[in-house]
């Protein structure tokens, strides 16, 4: 179980709260760092703590295939295995079902697929997903859902949504450890009537929190913002609201104004390994030639190790040489940037000036960031 309190609500609708888990508190709004296989690539847990990370997200699908549930039962869960003492949220595997369209079959029972590791066959059902998340010992588990391209036609979206609802009930029935929170997921694509129907059904169930799923899979920023704004306010005010897999800084700023409390996305670390840094004035492609002649830090406002110790030219050199230190420093920077953005947002909400803060932050970001 978890406890959740909203301490401040800004006139914009942004919320400042605290989520209390078995492994400590989470100050909200919060950005959760994706550690797909029980690690954030290239970083240790101490690095994450120093970057301000509060919650790590583990991937049920990948960890089920390797190393498997028996190991986690033996060692006492993912916290002990990866040596992370803070809260962990585990996804259900629903997005992986979506991304494996060429190699899986979905039925009412679940998704049947072959392992990318050894070609063995597996069935990921609501019950199997909860069983695996129970073995992982996460603080927050997610119900298995059916994720689609958000531009799918209404009939296809409705069928997937209704199956998501049936799977949500099975996920609740499969939970065996009441100490682990379980969140339900609202689906419905870009169709407002379906989103409303899904909200009504999912929020009527005894979930500990509620997520908005099925976005950032084919939709535009404007379409996402519209769905988020219309959906978030229908979720219970006294429960945490989680926007799944949506994570550019402008997306976060707009979603916080809609009253969303929790976020996750692989973007900050994934793009770091492609040479992209997020700064207070937008994205910087460190691998571009111009960076090689710049002796200033990535972001003079940033206090991370990359910005306080090195120049853009040095980071450019590391990446051009494919030195692991370059990717590590960019990952640390991006995580620090995201967590500082959330900390600044929390301060602005407490002061009742979130709308002005978000406007200033968005205006400071470059055109590329807004177009992404």
Rounded-to-integer distance, Cα 63 and Cα 71, Å = 10
User: Which stretch of DSSP H or E encloses residue 8?
Assistant: strand 3-9
Are residues 167 and 143 in contact, defined by beta-carbon separation less than 8 angstroms?
Answer: yes
Other Cβ atoms closer than 10 A to 191: 18
Q: Closest Cα to residue 240, out of 8, 17, 10?
A: 17
Are residues 359 and 273 in contact, defined by beta-carbon separation less than 8 angstroms?
Answer: no
Is 295 known to be catalytic?
Answer: no
Structure tokens at 130: 């909860």
Q: Which of 10, 261, 264, 299 is catalytic?
A: 264
Is 264 known to be catalytic?
Answer: yes
Structure tokens at 139: 């603080």
Rounded-to-integer distance, Cα 346 and Cα 326, Å = 30
β-pairing verdict for 111-114 and 121-124 = antiparallel
Are residues 285 and 266 in contact, defined by beta-carbon separation less than 8 angstroms?
Answer: no
β-pairing verdict for 282-285 and 276-279 = antiparallel
Rounded-to-integer distance, Cα 238 and Cα 3, Å = 10
Rounded-to-integer distance, Cα 131 and Cα 174, Å = 8
Find the length of the chain: 372
Are residues 309 and 274 in contact, defined by beta-carbon separation less than 8 angstroms?
Answer: no
Q: Which of 10, 91, 219, 251 is catalytic?
A: 91
Alpha helices for 66-216 (secondary structure H): 69-75, 78-82, 94-99, 126-136, 154-174, 192-203
SS3 26: strand
Rg of the chain taking only CA atoms, in angstroms: 20
Are residues 186 and 212 in contact, defined by beta-carbon separation less than 8 angstroms?
Answer: yes
Q: What is the separation of C-alpha 20 from the centre of its chain, rounded to a whole number of angstroms?
A: 18
Q: Tell me the catalytic residues.
A: 91, 264
């Amino acid at each position: 179980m978890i406890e959740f309190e909203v301490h401040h609500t800004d006139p914009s609708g942004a919320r400042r709260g605290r989520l209390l888990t078995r492994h400590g508190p989470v100050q909200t709004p919060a950005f959760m760092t994706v550690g797909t296989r029980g690690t954030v690539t290239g970083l240790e847990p101490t690095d994450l703590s120093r970057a301000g990370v509060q919650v790590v997200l583990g991937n049920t699908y990948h960890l089920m295939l390797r190393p498997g549930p028996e190991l986690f039962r033996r060692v006492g869960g993912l916290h002990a295995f990866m040596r992370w003492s803070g809260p962990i949220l585990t996804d259900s595997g629903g997005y992986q079902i979506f991304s494996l369209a060429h190699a899986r079959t979905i039925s009412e029972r679940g998704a049947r697929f072959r392992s990318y590791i050894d070609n063995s066959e597996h069935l990921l059902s609501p019950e199997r997903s909860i069983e695996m998340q129970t073995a992982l010992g996460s603080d927050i588990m997610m119900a298995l859902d059916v994720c689609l391209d958000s531009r799918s036609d209404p009939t296809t979206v409705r069928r997937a949504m209704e199956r998501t609802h049936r799977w949500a009930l099975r996920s609740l029935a499969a939970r065996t450890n009441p100490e682990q929170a379980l969140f339900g997921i609202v689906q419905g694509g870009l169709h407002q009537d379906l989103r409303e129907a899904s909200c009504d059904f999912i929020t009527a169930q005894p979930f500990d929190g509620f997520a908005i799923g099925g976005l950032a899979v084919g939709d535009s920023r404007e379409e996402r913002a519209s769905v988020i704004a219309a959906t978030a306010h229908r979720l219970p005010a006294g429960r945490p609201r989680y926007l799944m897999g949506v994570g550019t800084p402008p997306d976060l700023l707009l979603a916080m104004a809609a009253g969303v409390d929790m976020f996750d996305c692989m973007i900050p670390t994934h793009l770091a390994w492609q040479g992209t840094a997020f700064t207070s004035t937008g994205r910087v492609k460190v691998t571009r030639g111009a960076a090689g002649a710049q002796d200033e830090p990535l972001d003079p406002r940033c206090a991370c190790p990359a910005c306080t110790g090195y120049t853009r030219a040095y980071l450019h050199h590391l990446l051009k040489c494919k030195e692991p230190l370059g990717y590590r420093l960019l990952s640390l920077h991006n995580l620090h940037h995201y967590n500082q953005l959330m900390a600044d947002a929390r301060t602005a909400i407490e002061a009742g000036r979130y709308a002005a803060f978000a406007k200033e932050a968005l205006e400071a970001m470059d055109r590329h960031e807004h177009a992404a």
